[in-house]
Amino acid sequence: SFANTHITIDTTKSGPVINKNIYGQFAEHLGRGIYEGLWVGPESGIPNTRGWRNDVVGALKDINVPLVRWPGGCFADEYHWRDGIGPRDQRPVKVNTNWGGVEEDNAVGTHEFFDLVEILGAEAYVNGNLGTGTPQEMAEWLEYMTAEGKSTLAELRRKNGRDKPFQVQYFAIGNEAWGCGGNMTPEYYTNLYNHYATFLKAPAHNAPKLIASGGHTEDTSWAAHLTANVKPNWSLKMDAVSFHYYTLPTGKWDKKGAAIGFPEAEWMSTLVNTLRMDDFIVNNKKVMDKNDPEKKVGFYVDEWGTWYDVEAGENPGFLYQQNSLRDAVVAALNFNIFHKHADRVHMTNIAQMVNVLQAMILTDKEKMILTPTYYAYKMYVPFQDATSLPVSLKKVSQYRLGKSSVPAISASAARGKDGKVYLALVNANPNQAETVALALPGVTASGVSGQLLTATAMDAHNTFANPNAIKPVSYSAKAVNGKLSLELPAKSVVVVAVE
Ligand code: AHR
Protein backbone atom coordinates (compact mmCIF):
# COMPACT_ATOMS: atom_id res chain seq x y z
CA SER A 1 0.00 0.00 0.00
CA PHE A 2 1.02 3.61 -0.46
CA ALA A 3 3.05 4.90 2.50
CA ASN A 4 3.99 8.47 3.25
CA THR A 5 6.70 7.68 5.78
CA HIS A 6 9.13 4.76 5.94
CA ILE A 7 10.41 3.81 9.37
CA THR A 8 13.17 1.31 10.04
CA ILE A 9 13.97 0.05 13.53
CA ASP A 10 17.42 -1.47 13.92
CA THR A 11 16.94 -4.11 16.59
CA THR A 12 20.57 -5.26 16.35
CA LYS A 13 22.01 -2.07 17.85
CA SER A 14 21.00 -0.73 21.23
CA GLY A 15 21.32 2.84 22.39
CA PRO A 16 21.27 4.20 25.95
CA VAL A 17 18.72 3.12 28.53
CA ILE A 18 15.75 5.46 28.78
CA ASN A 19 15.89 6.26 32.47
CA LYS A 20 12.46 5.81 34.00
CA ASN A 21 12.87 9.21 35.63
CA ILE A 22 12.40 10.82 32.21
CA TYR A 23 8.76 10.22 33.20
CA GLY A 24 9.22 12.13 36.48
CA GLN A 25 6.64 14.46 37.98
CA PHE A 26 6.69 17.80 39.79
CA ALA A 27 4.43 18.84 42.68
CA GLU A 28 4.87 22.38 43.96
CA HIS A 29 3.05 24.24 46.72
CA LEU A 30 1.16 26.13 44.04
CA GLY A 31 -2.57 26.66 43.60
CA ARG A 32 -4.50 23.42 44.03
CA GLY A 33 -1.53 21.27 42.99
CA ILE A 34 -0.91 19.81 46.43
CA TYR A 35 -3.68 21.13 48.66
CA GLU A 36 -6.99 19.70 47.37
CA GLY A 37 -5.43 18.06 44.31
CA LEU A 38 -3.40 15.53 46.26
CA TRP A 39 -3.68 16.34 49.94
CA VAL A 40 -7.07 16.67 51.62
CA GLY A 41 -5.97 15.84 55.15
CA PRO A 42 -6.87 12.76 57.21
CA GLU A 43 -10.12 14.33 58.48
CA SER A 44 -11.54 14.89 54.97
CA GLY A 45 -14.71 13.19 53.73
CA ILE A 46 -12.83 12.51 50.48
CA PRO A 47 -11.40 8.98 50.83
CA ASN A 48 -7.72 9.28 51.68
CA THR A 49 -4.72 7.51 53.12
CA ARG A 50 -3.22 9.58 55.94
CA GLY A 51 -4.39 12.70 54.08
CA TRP A 52 -3.48 11.74 50.49
CA ARG A 53 -6.47 11.29 48.15
CA ASN A 54 -7.02 7.66 47.21
CA ASP A 55 -8.52 8.42 43.79
CA VAL A 56 -5.66 10.66 42.65
CA VAL A 57 -2.92 8.49 44.15
CA GLY A 58 -4.51 5.36 42.60
CA ALA A 59 -4.54 6.98 39.16
CA LEU A 60 -0.92 8.10 39.56
CA LYS A 61 0.11 4.55 40.46
CA ASP A 62 -1.38 3.40 37.15
CA ILE A 63 1.09 5.58 35.22
CA ASN A 64 4.01 4.26 37.27
CA VAL A 65 5.15 7.66 38.55
CA PRO A 66 8.86 6.98 39.04
CA LEU A 67 9.87 10.20 40.80
CA VAL A 68 8.34 13.33 42.35
CA ARG A 69 10.07 16.71 42.66
CA TRP A 70 9.00 18.83 45.66
CA PRO A 71 8.36 21.46 47.16
CA GLY A 72 9.06 23.81 44.17
CA GLY A 73 9.79 25.59 41.89
CA CYS A 74 9.92 29.18 42.99
CA PHE A 75 8.30 28.07 46.25
CA ALA A 76 11.41 26.07 47.14
CA ASP A 77 13.59 29.15 47.52
CA GLU A 78 11.29 30.56 50.20
CA TYR A 79 10.59 27.26 51.94
CA HIS A 80 11.96 26.69 55.40
CA TRP A 81 11.77 23.00 56.18
CA ARG A 82 11.38 23.43 59.94
CA ASP A 83 7.96 25.05 59.27
CA GLY A 84 6.76 21.71 57.94
CA ILE A 85 7.60 19.25 60.73
CA GLY A 86 5.97 18.41 64.07
CA PRO A 87 2.25 18.41 64.96
CA ARG A 88 0.32 19.82 62.01
CA ASP A 89 -1.91 22.05 64.14
CA GLN A 90 1.13 23.80 65.54
CA ARG A 91 2.90 24.54 62.27
CA PRO A 92 3.27 28.19 61.30
CA VAL A 93 1.02 29.71 58.67
CA LYS A 94 2.98 31.59 56.00
CA VAL A 95 2.14 33.55 52.87
CA ASN A 96 2.76 31.84 49.56
CA THR A 97 4.29 34.95 48.01
CA ASN A 98 4.98 33.37 44.63
CA TRP A 99 1.58 31.86 44.01
CA GLY A 100 -1.45 34.00 44.69
CA GLY A 101 -0.43 35.28 48.13
CA VAL A 102 -2.57 32.59 49.76
CA GLU A 103 -2.06 31.09 53.20
CA GLU A 104 0.37 28.19 53.40
CA ASP A 105 -0.38 26.26 56.57
CA ASN A 106 2.49 23.83 56.08
CA ALA A 107 0.19 20.81 56.46
CA VAL A 108 2.33 19.06 53.87
CA GLY A 109 5.95 18.94 54.99
CA THR A 110 8.85 16.53 54.81
CA HIS A 111 7.11 13.56 56.49
CA GLU A 112 3.94 13.92 54.43
CA PHE A 113 5.93 14.23 51.19
CA PHE A 114 7.86 11.04 51.89
CA ASP A 115 4.64 9.28 52.81
CA LEU A 116 3.33 10.19 49.33
CA VAL A 117 6.40 8.97 47.44
CA GLU A 118 6.46 5.79 49.50
CA ILE A 119 2.77 5.14 48.73
CA LEU A 120 3.50 5.76 45.04
CA GLY A 121 6.65 3.64 45.10
CA ALA A 122 8.45 6.62 43.57
CA GLU A 123 11.86 8.18 44.16
CA ALA A 124 12.17 11.52 45.96
CA TYR A 125 13.60 14.69 44.48
CA VAL A 126 13.81 17.37 47.17
CA ASN A 127 14.57 20.90 46.02
CA GLY A 128 16.58 22.85 48.60
CA ASN A 129 16.31 26.55 49.41
CA LEU A 130 19.33 28.48 48.22
CA GLY A 131 17.60 31.83 47.65
CA THR A 132 16.53 32.66 51.21
CA GLY A 133 18.11 29.85 53.21
CA THR A 134 21.58 29.31 54.57
CA PRO A 135 24.10 26.53 54.01
CA GLN A 136 23.40 25.50 57.61
CA GLU A 137 19.64 25.21 57.08
CA MET A 138 20.13 23.20 53.89
CA ALA A 139 22.73 20.89 55.42
CA GLU A 140 20.51 20.31 58.44
CA TRP A 141 17.52 19.40 56.28
CA LEU A 142 19.58 16.72 54.56
CA GLU A 143 20.84 15.51 57.93
CA TYR A 144 17.28 15.45 59.33
CA MET A 145 16.16 13.28 56.43
CA THR A 146 19.13 10.90 56.25
CA ALA A 147 20.95 10.70 59.61
CA GLU A 148 21.08 7.24 61.14
CA GLY A 149 22.64 7.60 64.59
CA LYS A 150 21.56 9.50 67.67
CA SER A 151 22.19 13.04 66.45
CA THR A 152 19.78 15.71 67.61
CA LEU A 153 18.25 15.97 64.16
CA ALA A 154 17.82 12.20 63.76
CA GLU A 155 16.18 12.13 67.19
CA LEU A 156 13.91 15.00 66.20
CA ARG A 157 12.85 13.03 63.11
CA ARG A 158 12.08 10.05 65.35
CA LYS A 159 10.09 12.24 67.71
CA ASN A 160 8.07 13.33 64.67
CA GLY A 161 7.22 9.73 63.90
CA ARG A 162 9.93 8.45 61.60
CA ASP A 163 12.62 6.12 62.88
CA LYS A 164 14.25 5.01 59.63
CA PRO A 165 15.94 7.68 57.51
CA PHE A 166 14.07 8.81 54.41
CA GLN A 167 15.56 7.77 51.08
CA VAL A 168 16.53 10.97 49.27
CA GLN A 169 17.55 10.03 45.75
CA TYR A 170 17.94 13.59 44.44
CA PHE A 171 18.56 16.97 46.03
CA ALA A 172 18.74 20.31 44.18
CA ILE A 173 20.59 23.40 45.34
CA GLY A 174 18.11 26.13 44.48
CA ASN A 175 15.75 26.64 41.55
CA GLU A 176 15.84 29.07 38.62
CA ALA A 177 18.76 30.95 40.14
CA TRP A 178 18.57 33.26 37.10
CA GLY A 179 15.05 34.36 38.13
CA CYS A 180 12.77 33.73 41.12
CA GLY A 181 15.60 31.86 42.85
CA GLY A 182 17.65 35.03 43.31
CA ASN A 183 18.33 36.74 39.96
CA MET A 184 21.92 35.54 39.91
CA THR A 185 24.53 35.26 37.19
CA PRO A 186 25.95 31.80 36.37
CA GLU A 187 29.25 32.90 37.93
CA TYR A 188 27.69 33.94 41.22
CA TYR A 189 25.47 30.87 41.39
CA THR A 190 28.35 28.50 40.65
CA ASN A 191 30.29 29.91 43.60
CA LEU A 192 27.25 29.46 45.81
CA TYR A 193 26.74 25.93 44.49
CA ASN A 194 30.27 25.02 45.53
CA HIS A 195 29.77 26.70 48.88
CA TYR A 196 26.47 24.94 49.73
CA ALA A 197 27.43 21.57 48.27
CA THR A 198 30.50 21.47 50.52
CA PHE A 199 28.26 21.06 53.54
CA LEU A 200 25.66 18.64 52.17
CA LYS A 201 26.53 15.37 53.84
CA ALA A 202 24.64 12.11 54.09
CA PRO A 203 25.54 8.46 54.72
CA ALA A 204 27.26 7.14 51.58
CA HIS A 205 24.52 4.60 50.82
CA ASN A 206 21.82 7.28 51.08
CA ALA A 207 23.62 10.23 49.51
CA PRO A 208 21.39 12.01 47.00
CA LYS A 209 22.46 12.88 43.51
CA LEU A 210 23.08 16.64 43.62
CA ILE A 211 21.45 18.88 41.05
CA ALA A 212 22.64 22.36 40.11
CA SER A 213 20.05 24.86 38.96
CA GLY A 214 20.77 25.56 35.31
CA GLY A 215 19.49 27.65 32.44
CA HIS A 216 16.38 27.85 30.32
CA THR A 217 15.26 28.22 26.72
CA GLU A 218 18.23 28.97 24.40
CA ASP A 219 20.67 29.86 27.18
CA THR A 220 23.59 27.41 27.42
CA SER A 221 25.80 29.56 29.64
CA TRP A 222 24.66 27.84 32.85
CA ALA A 223 25.50 24.33 31.71
CA ALA A 224 28.79 25.62 30.28
CA HIS A 225 29.82 27.56 33.36
CA LEU A 226 28.77 24.93 35.87
CA THR A 227 30.46 22.01 34.11
CA ALA A 228 33.62 24.07 33.67
CA ASN A 229 33.82 25.31 37.26
CA VAL A 230 32.42 22.76 39.67
CA LYS A 231 35.44 20.69 40.47
CA PRO A 232 34.33 17.47 42.13
CA ASN A 233 36.44 16.16 45.00
CA TRP A 234 35.72 14.05 48.05
CA SER A 235 33.10 16.37 49.48
CA LEU A 236 31.82 18.06 46.39
CA LYS A 237 29.98 16.81 43.40
CA MET A 238 27.46 17.78 40.81
CA ASP A 239 25.47 14.93 39.31
CA ALA A 240 23.34 17.04 37.01
CA VAL A 241 22.55 20.47 35.68
CA SER A 242 18.86 21.27 35.41
CA PHE A 243 17.10 23.03 32.57
CA HIS A 244 13.62 24.54 32.15
CA TYR A 245 11.63 25.15 29.01
CA TYR A 246 7.91 25.75 28.69
CA THR A 247 5.82 25.55 25.51
CA LEU A 248 3.81 28.75 25.01
CA PRO A 249 1.60 28.65 21.90
CA THR A 250 2.38 32.24 20.93
CA GLY A 251 5.84 32.25 22.49
CA LYS A 252 4.88 35.41 24.43
CA TRP A 253 4.45 35.56 28.21
CA ASP A 254 1.92 38.42 28.19
CA LYS A 255 -0.47 36.58 25.88
CA LYS A 256 0.40 32.92 25.76
CA GLY A 257 -2.71 31.52 24.05
CA ALA A 258 -5.70 29.57 25.30
CA ALA A 259 -5.79 25.97 26.51
CA ILE A 260 -8.89 25.16 24.46
CA GLY A 261 -10.80 26.86 21.66
CA PHE A 262 -7.58 27.89 19.91
CA PRO A 263 -7.12 28.39 16.14
CA GLU A 264 -5.12 25.96 13.97
CA ALA A 265 -2.36 28.60 13.81
CA GLU A 266 -1.81 27.97 17.53
CA TRP A 267 -1.83 24.20 17.07
CA MET A 268 1.00 24.76 14.60
CA SER A 269 2.93 27.30 16.69
CA THR A 270 2.62 24.99 19.72
CA LEU A 271 4.27 22.22 17.69
CA VAL A 272 7.00 24.54 16.41
CA ASN A 273 7.73 25.79 19.93
CA THR A 274 7.69 22.28 21.41
CA LEU A 275 10.17 20.96 18.85
CA ARG A 276 12.64 23.68 19.89
CA MET A 277 13.34 21.47 22.91
CA ASP A 278 15.48 19.29 20.65
CA ASP A 279 17.79 22.19 19.68
CA PHE A 280 18.05 23.35 23.28
CA ILE A 281 19.16 19.90 24.42
CA VAL A 282 21.53 19.50 21.46
CA ASN A 283 23.19 22.86 22.21
CA ASN A 284 23.52 22.19 25.93
CA LYS A 285 24.94 18.74 25.22
CA LYS A 286 27.57 20.33 22.97
CA VAL A 287 28.87 22.57 25.73
CA MET A 288 28.68 19.77 28.28
CA ASP A 289 30.49 17.29 26.00
CA LYS A 290 33.39 19.74 25.91
CA ASN A 291 33.76 19.99 29.70
CA ASP A 292 32.50 16.53 30.61
CA PRO A 293 33.30 14.14 27.74
CA GLU A 294 32.72 11.11 29.94
CA LYS A 295 29.11 12.21 30.43
CA LYS A 296 29.25 12.03 34.21
CA VAL A 297 26.93 15.01 34.60
CA GLY A 298 23.30 14.58 33.62
CA PHE A 299 21.10 17.18 31.95
CA TYR A 300 17.76 17.16 33.75
CA VAL A 301 14.83 18.95 32.15
CA ASP A 302 13.16 19.34 35.54
CA GLU A 303 10.42 21.69 34.32
CA TRP A 304 8.67 21.53 30.97
CA GLY A 305 5.19 21.51 29.52
CA THR A 306 2.53 23.79 28.10
CA TRP A 307 1.77 27.09 29.78
CA TYR A 308 -1.45 28.81 28.68
CA ASP A 309 -3.37 31.92 29.65
CA VAL A 310 -5.17 31.36 32.91
CA GLU A 311 -8.90 30.68 32.53
CA ALA A 312 -11.40 33.44 33.27
CA GLY A 313 -12.61 33.20 36.84
CA GLU A 314 -9.54 31.29 38.06
CA ASN A 315 -6.98 32.77 40.46
CA PRO A 316 -4.17 33.93 38.11
CA GLY A 317 -1.58 32.78 40.64
CA PHE A 318 -2.87 29.19 40.57
CA LEU A 319 -1.84 28.35 36.97
CA TYR A 320 -4.85 26.09 36.47
CA GLN A 321 -5.48 25.16 32.84
CA GLN A 322 -7.47 22.67 30.78
CA ASN A 323 -5.61 19.96 28.94
CA SER A 324 -6.49 18.70 25.49
CA LEU A 325 -5.39 16.31 22.76
CA ARG A 326 -2.85 19.00 21.81
CA ASP A 327 -1.19 18.54 25.22
CA ALA A 328 -0.91 14.79 24.67
CA VAL A 329 0.79 15.47 21.34
CA VAL A 330 3.17 17.94 23.04
CA ALA A 331 3.98 15.33 25.70
CA ALA A 332 4.63 12.57 23.16
CA LEU A 333 6.82 14.81 20.97
CA ASN A 334 8.87 15.69 24.04
CA PHE A 335 9.16 12.03 25.10
CA ASN A 336 10.50 11.15 21.66
CA ILE A 337 13.04 13.99 21.95
CA PHE A 338 14.08 12.93 25.48
CA HIS A 339 14.56 9.32 24.36
CA LYS A 340 16.86 10.52 21.60
CA HIS A 341 19.05 12.24 24.20
CA ALA A 342 18.83 9.54 26.86
CA ASP A 343 22.65 9.49 27.11
CA ARG A 344 22.53 12.86 28.96
CA VAL A 345 18.88 13.37 29.79
CA HIS A 346 18.30 11.01 32.71
CA MET A 347 15.42 12.90 34.27
CA THR A 348 12.62 15.22 33.28
CA ASN A 349 9.71 16.57 35.31
CA ILE A 350 6.57 17.78 33.63
CA ALA A 351 5.04 20.85 35.26
CA GLN A 352 2.98 19.83 37.12
CA MET A 353 1.35 16.63 38.37
CA VAL A 354 -2.15 17.80 39.45
CA ASN A 355 -4.23 20.96 38.75
CA VAL A 356 -1.25 23.09 37.69
CA LEU A 357 -0.10 23.81 34.10
CA GLN A 358 0.15 20.64 31.97
CA ALA A 359 -1.38 18.35 34.56
CA MET A 360 -2.02 14.61 34.56
CA ILE A 361 -5.12 15.04 36.68
CA LEU A 362 -7.64 17.81 37.35
CA THR A 363 -9.83 17.82 40.44
CA ASP A 364 -12.95 19.64 41.53
CA LYS A 365 -13.64 18.90 45.19
CA GLU A 366 -14.31 15.14 45.32
CA LYS A 367 -14.29 14.76 41.52
CA MET A 368 -11.28 13.89 39.39
CA ILE A 369 -10.60 13.72 35.67
CA LEU A 370 -7.68 12.20 33.80
CA THR A 371 -6.27 14.43 31.09
CA PRO A 372 -5.02 13.50 27.60
CA THR A 373 -1.51 14.12 28.98
CA TYR A 374 -2.19 11.47 31.64
CA TYR A 375 -3.01 9.01 28.87
CA ALA A 376 0.18 9.86 26.96
CA TYR A 377 2.15 8.99 30.12
CA LYS A 378 0.18 5.78 30.49
CA MET A 379 0.77 4.70 26.91
CA TYR A 380 4.53 5.36 27.22
CA VAL A 381 5.00 3.32 30.43
CA PRO A 382 6.81 0.49 28.51
CA PHE A 383 9.56 3.02 27.70
CA GLN A 384 10.51 3.43 31.37
CA ASP A 385 13.97 1.84 31.75
CA ALA A 386 13.73 0.43 28.22
CA THR A 387 16.79 0.32 25.95
CA SER A 388 16.50 2.74 23.08
CA LEU A 389 16.78 1.39 19.55
CA PRO A 390 17.92 3.41 16.54
CA VAL A 391 15.03 4.48 14.31
CA SER A 392 15.41 5.98 10.87
CA LEU A 393 12.65 7.93 9.17
CA LYS A 394 12.51 8.47 5.42
CA LYS A 395 10.15 10.37 3.14
CA VAL A 396 8.53 12.04 6.14
CA SER A 397 5.70 14.24 4.95
CA GLN A 398 5.51 17.78 6.24
CA TYR A 399 2.58 19.43 7.91
CA ARG A 400 2.36 22.99 6.60
CA LEU A 401 0.33 26.00 7.61
CA GLY A 402 1.06 29.52 6.38
CA LYS A 403 4.83 29.98 6.58
CA SER A 404 5.31 27.22 9.16
CA SER A 405 6.16 23.63 8.56
CA VAL A 406 7.00 20.67 10.83
CA PRO A 407 7.53 16.97 10.15
CA ALA A 408 4.14 15.27 10.41
CA ILE A 409 5.60 12.14 11.97
CA SER A 410 7.76 11.72 15.06
CA ALA A 411 8.90 8.27 16.17
CA SER A 412 10.86 6.50 18.88
CA ALA A 413 11.61 2.83 19.54
CA ALA A 414 13.02 0.81 22.38
CA ARG A 415 13.35 -2.71 23.70
CA GLY A 416 11.25 -2.89 26.84
CA LYS A 417 12.24 -4.62 30.03
CA ASP A 418 9.93 -7.44 28.91
CA GLY A 419 12.10 -7.97 25.80
CA LYS A 420 9.48 -6.67 23.36
CA VAL A 421 10.16 -3.97 20.79
CA TYR A 422 8.01 -0.87 21.37
CA LEU A 423 7.33 1.89 18.89
CA ALA A 424 5.83 5.29 19.67
CA LEU A 425 4.45 7.43 16.86
CA VAL A 426 2.95 10.89 16.66
CA ASN A 427 1.02 12.22 13.69
CA ALA A 428 1.12 15.96 14.36
CA ASN A 429 -0.89 16.86 11.28
CA PRO A 430 -4.39 17.79 12.49
CA ASN A 431 -5.94 17.47 9.04
CA GLN A 432 -4.51 14.37 7.41
CA ALA A 433 -4.04 10.73 8.26
CA GLU A 434 -0.60 9.29 7.53
CA THR A 435 0.52 5.84 6.53
CA VAL A 436 3.76 4.50 7.95
CA ALA A 437 5.61 1.57 6.38
CA LEU A 438 7.48 -0.17 9.18
CA ALA A 439 10.54 -2.35 8.64
CA LEU A 440 12.56 -4.29 11.21
CA PRO A 441 15.41 -5.87 9.25
CA GLY A 442 16.07 -9.44 10.36
CA VAL A 443 12.85 -9.66 12.38
CA THR A 444 9.71 -11.40 11.15
CA ALA A 445 6.92 -9.35 12.63
CA SER A 446 3.35 -10.58 12.35
CA GLY A 447 1.89 -7.25 13.45
CA VAL A 448 1.74 -4.59 16.09
CA SER A 449 -0.69 -3.94 18.87
CA GLY A 450 -1.13 -1.27 21.49
CA GLN A 451 -3.08 1.94 21.97
CA LEU A 452 -4.18 4.97 20.02
CA LEU A 453 -5.13 8.39 21.36
CA THR A 454 -6.97 10.72 19.01
CA ALA A 455 -10.18 12.75 18.65
CA THR A 456 -12.08 14.77 16.10
CA ALA A 457 -11.35 18.17 17.64
CA MET A 458 -7.85 19.59 18.11
CA ASP A 459 -8.84 20.66 21.62
CA ALA A 460 -10.74 17.51 22.64
CA HIS A 461 -10.64 17.34 26.43
CA ASN A 462 -12.29 15.77 29.44
CA THR A 463 -14.55 17.72 31.77
CA PHE A 464 -16.11 16.93 35.13
CA ALA A 465 -19.45 16.56 33.30
CA ASN A 466 -17.94 14.41 30.55
CA PRO A 467 -14.85 12.73 32.02
CA ASN A 468 -14.42 10.14 29.25
CA ALA A 469 -14.63 12.37 26.17
CA ILE A 470 -11.09 11.44 25.19
CA LYS A 471 -9.14 8.34 26.14
CA PRO A 472 -6.99 5.75 24.38
CA VAL A 473 -8.50 2.88 22.39
CA SER A 474 -6.86 -0.34 21.31
CA TYR A 475 -4.93 -0.29 18.10
CA SER A 476 -3.44 -3.03 15.97
CA ALA A 477 -2.15 -3.77 12.50
CA LYS A 478 -1.29 -7.08 10.85
CA ALA A 479 1.53 -7.72 8.38
CA VAL A 480 0.37 -8.47 4.86
CA ASN A 481 2.78 -10.49 2.68
CA GLY A 482 5.51 -9.75 5.23
CA LYS A 483 4.92 -5.99 5.06
CA LEU A 484 3.73 -3.89 7.96
CA SER A 485 1.90 -0.70 7.41
CA LEU A 486 0.31 1.50 10.11
CA GLU A 487 -2.48 3.97 9.52
CA LEU A 488 -2.16 6.96 11.82
CA PRO A 489 -5.25 9.12 12.08
CA ALA A 490 -4.80 12.89 11.93
CA LYS A 491 -3.57 14.36 15.29
CA SER A 492 -2.82 11.09 17.00
CA VAL A 493 -0.43 9.36 19.34
CA VAL A 494 0.16 5.63 18.96
CA VAL A 495 2.26 3.28 21.10
CA VAL A 496 2.54 -0.34 19.99
CA ALA A 497 4.48 -3.49 20.74
CA VAL A 498 5.81 -5.44 17.77
CA GLU A 499 4.55 -9.02 17.68
O1 AHR B 1 6.05 25.52 37.37
C2 AHR B 1 5.74 26.83 37.72
C3 AHR B 1 6.97 27.69 37.94
O4 AHR B 1 7.66 27.87 36.74
C5 AHR B 1 8.01 27.17 38.87
O6 AHR B 1 7.74 27.43 40.20
C7 AHR B 1 9.24 27.93 38.46
O8 AHR B 1 10.42 27.22 38.73
C9 AHR B 1 9.01 28.19 36.99
O10 AHR B 1 9.23 29.52 36.69
Question: What kind and span of H or E run contains 404?
Answer: strand 404-407
Please tell me the distance between residue 129's alpha carbon and the centre of ligand 1 in angstroms: 14
Residue nearest to atom 3 of ligand 1 (CA): 73
Start-to-end C-alpha separation, the chain? 20
CATH class given for the domain over 20-385: alpha beta
**5-10+389-498 carries CATH number 2.60.40.1180:** yes
Percent of the chain beyond pLDDT 90?
Answer: 97
Residue 426 has pLDDT above 70, yes or no: yes
- Over residues 277-336, the pLDDT tens digits come to 999 999 999 999 999 999 999 999 999 999 999 988 989 999 999 999 999 999 999 999
- Over residues 238-269, the pLDDT tens digits come to 999 999 999 999 999 999 999 999 999 999 99
Check: complex ipTM more than 0.95 = yes
- Over residues 464-479, the pLDDT tens digits come to 999 999 999 999 999 9
Please tell me the distance between residue 134's alpha carbon and the centre of ligand 1 in angstroms: 22
Which of 129, 242, 244 most suits a substitution to test ligand 1, by most atoms within 8 Å of the C-beta? 244
Q: Would you say 494 and 450 are in contact if contact means Cβ atoms under 8 Å apart?
A: yes
Please tell me the distance between residue 25's alpha carbon and the centre of ligand 1 in angstroms: 13
* Alpha carbon of residue 388 to chain centroid: 19
User: Mean pLDDT throughout 1-24?
Assistant: 92
Residue ranges, CATH 3.20.20.80, the chain: 20-385
Beta strands in 88-159 (DSSP E): 94-96, 102-104, 123-128
Residue 66 has pLDDT above 70, yes or no: yes
Q: Give bridge partners of residue 404 from the DSSP assignment.
A: 401
Please tell me the distance between residue 74's alpha carbon and the centre of ligand 1 in angstroms: 6
Residue ranges, CATH 2.60.40.1180, the chain: 5-10+389-498
Tell me the one-letter amino acid at 157.
R
CA 121/CA 20 separation, integer angstroms: 13
Residue list, ligand 1 pocket, CB within 6 Å:
28, 72-74, 175-176, 303, 351-352, 357
Q: Would you say 425 and 411 are in contact if contact means Cβ atoms under 8 Å apart?
A: yes
Mean pLDDT of the chain: 97
Q: Which atom of ligand 1 is nearest to the CA of 351?
A: 1
pLDDT-based confidence at 21, cuts 50/70/90?
Answer: very high
pLDDT-based confidence at 235, cuts 50/70/90?
Answer: low
Q: What is the pTM of this model?
A: 0.98
User: Mean pLDDT throughout 15-28?
Assistant: 98
pLDDT-based confidence at 2, cuts 50/70/90?
Answer: low
User: Mean pLDDT throughout 190-207?
Assistant: 95
Residue nearest to atom 9 of ligand 1 (CA): 73
User: Mean pLDDT throughout 59-85?
Assistant: 98
| Predicted local confidence at residue 1, as pLDDT | 46
Catalytic residue annotation? 176, 303
